[in-house]
Amino acid sequence: MLDISNLQSYFRELRKLSEDAQQFPWKPGAGSDVTELADELRCMLEFLEKSGHKEAAFEYFCREMLAECSPDNAAYYVSPLCSQGSSIRKHAWFAYSALRAVELAHKPIGVTQAALTVCAALGVACKKTLAMLNAKSAEKALPPSPAFGLPAIGISLISKMRPEDRRAGFYVVSGS
């Protein structure tokens, strides 16, 4: 499933998979969703380790996932830019481990709850990542608007004028 040609559809699919996997203790067959989710998370983490910081959206996703798993996670508070240029993805391997531990015949106490928490955190991180990607694509779609409706050349000329000349150059047009 790790196809980064269209990140928005990728994170939509990942979100759906995480929501399906959240039901694994109650829904027959949902255990395979947990396994698939764990494999997808492993692929994502391995991709990040191999490719460095080529895909900031995945780094952002990992940061948000860790923050949802534990709001006290120190890595979340390192910097608003910690999704870029940090090793936060390395901290996300514990989430993969929690999901894989569900397959054990004799589960340690709390592993099911830990896996459910990871599934929920993956879903929330997907929502936040999609919102970030949608905001970025919306910014690209809009043409840059000049400040105050003046062309850039006009702004630079006005900024070089003396204050009294600037005031004299502006007048109010009132409608009748």
Q: What is the pLDDT of residues 32-78, one digit of tens each?
A: 889 999 999 999 888 888 876 667 888 888 888 888 887 666 555 55
Query: What pLDDT score does 156 carry?
Result: 45
Q: What are the pLDDT digits (tens) for 97-151? A: 989 988 777 777 788 888 999 999 999 999 999 999 998 777 776 555 444 444 4
Q: How far apart are CA 95 and CA 122, in angstroms?
A: 9
Domain parsing of the chain, residue ranges: 7-141
Q: What are the pLDDT digits (tens) for 76-87? A: 555 555 544 556
Q: How far apart are CA 67 and CA 85, in angstroms?
A: 17
Cβ-proximal residues to 88 (8 Å cutoff; 6+ apart), any chain: 59, 62, 63, 66, 75, 78, 82
**pTM to 2 decimal places:** 0.69
